Amino acid sequence: MENDGVYRLLAFLCGALLGTLHFGGLWLTILLMPACARPRLCWYMSFLIRLCMTLAGMWIVLDRRPGAFIFTFGAFLSVRWLISRQVRNLNERMADENQPG
């Protein structure tokens, strides 16, 4: 099993890509929501597209190497944490800029 390290690295990178697409897409959806003519439809379509991409990617990794799925899911959750932290910091900076004084 000399290739286990390579598969784990690829699984981690796949999870990072899936997380970036999923949570980055969510962030873009929220940003673009005010400009949508039909916001509810935009929200549901975004959710379905992100969900299908994420599930398909996770299924591919799980089908190839079930043990590597842990690394994929860990990277997915790590990206979630990083994006939520970046958005929180951005919101705090925007709130500080909008305060009078």
Q: What is the DSSP string of 70-86?
A: HHHHHHHHHHHHHHHHH
Distance of alpha carbon 39 from alpha carbon 45, whole angstroms? 10
The helix, strand and coil proportions of the chain, stated in percent and rounded to the nearest 5, come to 90, 0, 10
What is residue 33's DSSP assignment? G
Q: Going by C-beta distance under 8 Å and a sequence separation of 6 or more, which residues neighbour residue 18? A: 53, 54, 57, 58, 72, 75, 76
Question: Measuring CA to CA, which residue among 54, 60, 51, 70 is closest to residue 19?
Answer: 54
Per-residue pLDDT 10s for the chain (101 aa) are 567 888 889 999 999 999 999 999 998 999 899 999 999 999 999 999 999 999 999 999 888 888 888 999 999 999 999 998 988 888 788 777 777 75
Q: Is 0.85 topped by the overall pTM?
A: no
